[in-house]
């Protein structure tokens, strides 16, 4: 029985991308927290520091500040932790496919058109992966066709050269043009063979 692979949803795939996105989200959280804290605390701080108000009103404002500290900060810290973990998990669903795209593109740079992008269940960018795979199918088919046509043309050229040598040219054949054509066909075939197709 084969063991099923369970992926780690909190795995860091591409540090620069994932940490940059996490930092961006944490900056947004800090800004939102700052606005929220100023809305909650500033009115009571102003009342507490206003010398024209009675000591009872100022004491109530101080109690409100202490109560808000007691209630708000644990919630904000927990919220930052939950959002941070959720962001890592969510962004790995983007970063994972981008990582696979990068691997496939490097394969193409090395001449390998055999591989296709396979994404896991739950990953994002599925439509993009399908379009890229379709593009590779078309390119692979065209390169394969060029390779086959080049081989066919080279075989036909060899047959034609043999026929010329046997039937038409008796006195020192001028095969320069045929040699150049053969060389160009060989270069075309070699260029097309750089890509490995299915």
pLDDT of res. 133: 92
**Each residue of 3-24: pLDDT tens digit?**
454 666 666 666 777 788 888 8
**Each residue of 99-154: pLDDT tens digit?**
899 999 999 888 888 889 988 888 888 899 999 999 989 888 888 888 888 888 88
| Cα 65 from Cα 113, distance rounded (Å) | 65
| Cα 44 from Cα 59, distance rounded (Å) | 10
pLDDT of res. 186: 80
Q: Where are the domains of the chain?
A: 15-110, 114-198
């Amino acid at each position: 029985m084969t063991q099923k692979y369970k992926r780690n949803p909190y795995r860091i795939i591409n540090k620069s991308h994932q940490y940059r996105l996490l930092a961006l989200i944490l900056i947004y959280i800090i800004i939102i927290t700052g606005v929220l804290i100023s809305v909650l605390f500033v009115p009571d701080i102003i009342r507490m520091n206003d010398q024209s108000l009675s000591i009872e009103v100022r004491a109530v404002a101080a109690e409100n500040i202490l109560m808000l500290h007691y209630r708000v900060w644990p919630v904000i810290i927990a919220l930052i932790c939950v959002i941070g973990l959720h962001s890592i998990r969510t962004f790995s669903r983007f970063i994972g496919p981008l990582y696979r795209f990068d691997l496939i593109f490097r394969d193409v740079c090395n001449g390998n058109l055999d591989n296709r992008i396979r994404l896991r269940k739950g990953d994002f960018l599925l439509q993009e992966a399908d379009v890229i795979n379709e593009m590779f199918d078309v390119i692979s088919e065209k390169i394969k066709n060029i390779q086959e046509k080049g081989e066919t043309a080279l075989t036909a050229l060899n047959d034609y050269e043999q026929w010329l040598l046997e039937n038409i040219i008796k006195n020192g054949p001028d095969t320069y043009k045929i040699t150049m054509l053969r060389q160009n066909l060989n270069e075309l075939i070699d260029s097309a063979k750089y890509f490995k197709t299915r």
